[in-house]
Amino acid sequence: MLTIKLPQIFRVHQVPRIFWEDGIMSGYRHPKSSALDCILSSFQMTNETVNIWTHFLPTWYFVWRFLVLSSSLDFCQEPYHWPLLIYLLLVCLYPFASSCAHTFSSMSARARHICYFCDYGALSLYSLGCAFAYGAYAMPDHWVSGGLHHYFVPAAALNSFVCTGLSCYSRYVLVGLAQSQGACRVLTVGADRGPCVYPFLYDNIPLFYRVSQGVLGQGNCAWNEAVAGDCSHPLFALLTGFLFTSHLPERLAPGRFDYIGHSHQLFHICAVLGTHFQLEAILCDVCSRRAWLRGRLPAPGLSGTFGTAGLALLGSM
């Protein structure tokens, strides 16, 4: 009878320091696992198993949402929906890339860097997808066709490229140096995730303004379903950042949350929930502002949508 031997797991001091995570004392995979061992490990309980599945399963949720929308929206012939199409494709990409990074990051120290390079690249491209959607559908009324609106997506494409480069460089140099010398977690977090903060803040400028105007009930940004969604996404994003940087709750009780309940798992869940609310808010704007926006903006062109996204993809690669 065919049997499959699951890979062995190790305690923290049995693996190189570069694989260590604060407060996680056990459940580590072999630091030179084969690709097959990495895949098999996703079906046994390690400290990465829930990380893998909390982004792999949402990938298929977003793919399902994309397929459902494809049956009701004309993504091929209707240029108005092209920014939404790019956003949806990148929403499907970033959790899949993250899941793959967590799956194969134990093949070697070099492979660990490469896996997370791809993860950072996908996250940077997702930030560009957000800019496409916000620039096309969520820009405040009196900002439409203004200077910020005109350069919003090109600047976001540049931000995406810079974010990928700085994140990868800082992880390879600063994070590797800090972990090899046992330096504090603040340095490592600031190094490999700090560059991702700026694209988030830039992309959300229209949302911050709409939410502030909606709360105050001023102008044409009165509180509605889309503004409520615009509020939910940044809140989950802030919670995501807090969990990633604080390493709570495992730092308070090392070893108790090795397999279930540590901060990176909660960080994944909050990120997915934030993206879900973001998607709902964008879809609300796509439908409710369609006639108004089409009367004031030219139809998106291929060069400004797929051309820009393609250049950003090549740059990140």
DSSP 16-50: -GGG--TT--S-EEPTT--HHHHHHHTTS--TTHH
Q: What is the mean pLDDT of residues 157-185?
A: 74
Q: Is there a domain that residue 268 lies in?
A: yes
Q: Check if the beta carbon of residue 191 is closer than 8 Å to that of residue 178.
A: yes
Question: Average pLDDT over the chain, rounded to whole?
Answer: 88
User: Of the given ranges (57-61, 115-119, 168-172), which has the lowest mean pLDDT?
Assistant: 168-172
Q: Check if the beta carbon of residue 244 is closer than 8 Å to that of residue 193.
A: yes
Q: Is there a domain that residue 91 lies in?
A: yes
Q: Is there a domain that residue 1 lies in?
A: no
Q: Is there a domain that residue 246 lies in?
A: yes
**For the chain, what is the domain count?**
1
pLDDT of amino acid 1: 42
Q: Mind giving me the DSSP string for 124-190?
A: HHHHHHHHHHIIIIIS-GGGTTSHHHHHHHHHHHHHHHHHHHHHHHHIIIIIHHHHHTT--HHHHHH
Q: What is the mean pLDDT of residues 111-126?
A: 94
Q: Is there a domain that residue 27 lies in?
A: no
Between residues 228 and 303, which one has the greater pLDDT? 303
Q: Check if the beta carbon of residue 99 is closer than 8 Å to that of residue 52.
A: yes
Q: How many CB atoms lie within 10 A of CB 201?
A: 12
pLDDT of amino acid 245: 85
Q: What is the CA radius of gyration of the chain?
A: 21
Q: Is there a domain that residue 181 lies in?
A: yes
Query: 187: pLDDT confidence band, cut at 50, 70 and 90?
Result: very low
For residues 274 and 240, give the distance between their C-alpha atoms in angstroms, rounded to a whole number.
9
Each residue's pLDDT tens digit, 39-68: 999 999 999 999 999 999 999 999 999 999
Q: How many CB atoms lie within 10 A of CB 71?
A: 6
Q: Is there a domain that residue 16 lies in?
A: no
pTM, rounded to two decimals: 0.91
pLDDT of amino acid 5: 78
Q: Is there a domain that residue 20 lies in?
A: no
Each residue's pLDDT tens digit, 228-275: 666 788 889 889 989 988 899 999 999 999 999 999 999 999 999 999
CATH code, domain with 284: 1.20.1070
Range of the domain at 253: 32-316
Q: Per-residue pLDDT for 193 more than 60?
A: no
